[in-house]
Amino acid sequence: MDLFEAMRTQRSVKSFKPDPVSDQDIATILSAATWAPNGTNAQPWEFIVIRDADIKKSVADIYRAGLQFLLDHPRRQGWREPDERTFFRTMMSKSHHLREHLEESPVLIVVAMNEHRDNLPRYGVLKAIHPEAAYASIMPGVQNMMLAARSLGLGTCLTTALNILEEDAKVALDMPEHTRIIALIPLGYPTEDFKPVTRIPAEEFTHLDRWRVHAERLS
């Protein structure tokens, strides 16, 4: 399918049919991830493909516990003000189905970073900043995965709640110390048709040459 159409209709899918995803489609999606640009060609990504029902349930339980932590512990002072509290609760309610049925996704893919494959420390980059650069090298691969899935008629949802209780998740998945969890991607055939995403127009975020010099429209 057309790349721009895939991007325009790549909505977060939170409800999946029980139909299995083929090994070939999973391999295609992961290959697409490895074609992504990444700093120093370190290719620091790792992918854990989860189809075992018991392991999916364990991961889903940790995911739910992480979301509950967000609900129970304010992330910054003042979030309990009425407007912000309402916004946060609304955001959480939209993900209710996925939260309660995550383990029913045909496939869960944990995207991780292998710190032993991060080239930046070898080049003398300050340890304080290299993790962020490594994360930036992995996220283009995540987008490639999701676009490849969309082209195959498969839905995905970018989630990061598993990171909240990362150590618990790493134990459940037997992950070594030198790895970090970046994202959890449920994968499967959506129960609803793909639809265009809803976004604020790009010109509202676009600055020309300097901050706050906005373009009405770039053509």
Q: Tens of pLDDT along 29-70?
A: 999 999 999 988 889 999 999 999 999 999 999 999 998 887
Query: CB–CB of 15/97 below 8 Å?
Result: yes
User: Tokens representing 99?
Assistant: 């939260």
Element (H, E) at 113: strand 107-114
The total domain count for the chain is: 1
CATH number, residue 116: 3.40.109.10
Domain that holds residue 53: 3-193
Q: Rounded to whole angstroms, how far apart are CA atoms 149 and 65?
A: 28
Residue type present at position 22: S
Q: Which whole number is the average pLDDT over 77-94?
A: 60
Q: Tens of pLDDT along 142-171?
A: 999 999 999 999 999 999 999 999 999 999
Q: Is residue 136 part of a domain?
A: yes
Q: Which whole number is the average pLDDT over 208-219?
A: 74
Q: What is the CA radius of gyration of the chain?
A: 19
What is the per-residue pLDDT for 212?
A: 77
Greatest Cα-to-Cα distance within the chain, rounded to the nearest angstrom: 53
